[in-house]
Structure 1
Amino acid sequence: MTKSYPVVYGYVRVSDRQEGAAQELRDELATWCAREGWHLGAVFTDVSAGIDVDDRIGFLGLLDALALPQARGAVVLDPAQLSPRPELITRMMRKMRATGSAVVCRSGELPPMALKHCQGQPELTS
């Protein structure tokens, strides 16, 4: 019997001045996921994303992927990858958790209101 690894999907947001850094961030996500024993299904990216999360093509793609039956979670390197604004991080966390998937940030601290959405989330274990 082959071992099953949890399928996760990543998200990266960069400004237009950092567009070249997007690949480095995707590679960093892939390395982290491999180290944790997670299968990284895809990484969704937004460049120069506006404030309205409903206009972020990459984030909307992430939400669609998290709705797939095999999806177990979303991975983000740092909450700042979601937004510099705590209220937007909280809104995005709420949307991701509404899919039933876990949300894991490698580093950085989530705003207190966003942390509330992580309570009771499933573990990403294989």
Structure 2
Amino acid sequence: MEPLTEHRPFNGPVVYGFLHLVKTAAGRDSALTAALTEYCRQHELLLGAVFTERTAPDQDERSAAFTGLLDVLALPDTYGVVLPAATHLGPRALATARRKRLAEAGTRVLLLRPPSRGRKSPDQGATGHQTRRRSPT
């Protein structure tokens, strides 16, 4: 008898994590990485890597971590990027530029924690394109 699908090894769609951790408490990096890993496990996604930005970039959205993320998002069979929250794209002006770059690349942005009410959703970037997001539940 064949095992159920849930019991077979499965390589789900590949996603990459991105964390913006400037001036954060020790242990936050590992806690957020664990949260991304658990989210991917629950949604049958394969977390390829997590890119962590530890220094505040200038107004330019091209930090080493974000540039690395864009590079892997261009690989075939990449499903998208997963973030703990939209704030991990950086401060407002920087996040707007980054959302635009991700939208131009046709990247799916998956959020563990959706934006709170009254705040502009990262799905509605400057380009007017809507990126897809999965619910964490």
Name the TM-score class by shorter chain.
0.7 to 0.9
Tell me the distance in 1 between the aligned counterparts of 2:24 and 2:121.
30
CA 1:27 to 1:118, structure 2 compared with 1: closer, same or farther past 3 Å? farther
Q: CA deviation at 1:16?
A: 3.2
In the alignment, does 2:51 pair up with 1:44?
yes
Given residue 95 of structure 1, which amino acid in structure 2 is its aligned partner? Answer: R
Q: CA deviation at 1:53?
A: 1.6
Please list the CA deviations of residues 82-112 of structure 1 after superposition, one character each: whole Å capped at 9, or x if unmatched: 1231x32221112122222211112142635
TM-score by length of 2: 0.74
Tell me the distance in 2 between the aligned counterparts of 1:12 and 1:112.
18
SS in 1 for 2:12: coil
RMSD: 2.5
CA 1:123 to 1:77, structure 2 compared with 1: closer, same or farther past 3 Å? closer
Q: Which residue of 1 aligns with 2:101?
A: 95
Moved more, 97-106 or 65-74: 97-106
Q: CA deviation at 1:18?
A: 3.1
Q: Which residue of 2 aligns with 1:10?
A: 17
What is the percent sequence identity of the aligned residues?
A: 30
Name the structure with the higher helix share. 1
SS in 1 for 2:69: helix
CA 1:49 to 1:7, structure 2 compared with 1: closer, same or farther past 3 Å? same
The correspondence of residues 1-126 of structure 1 with structure 2, limited to 5 A, is 3-18=10-25, 20-51=27-58, 52-54=60-62, 56-85=63-92, 87-109=93-115, 111-112=120-121, 115-116=124-125, 119=130, 121=131
Given residue 120 of structure 2, which amino acid in structure 1 is its aligned partner? Answer: P
The answer (yes or no) to whether the contact 1:6–1:39 under 8 Å persists in 2 is: yes
TM-score by length of 1: 0.80
Return 5+ residue gaps in structure 2 as ranges. 1-7
The answer (yes or no) to whether the contact 1:90–1:111 under 8 Å persists in 2 is: no
Tell me the distance in 1 between the aligned counterparts of 2:122 and 2:38.
29
Tell me the distance in 1 between the aligned counterparts of 2:100 and 2:44.
25
Higher relative contact order (CA 8 A, sep 6+): 1
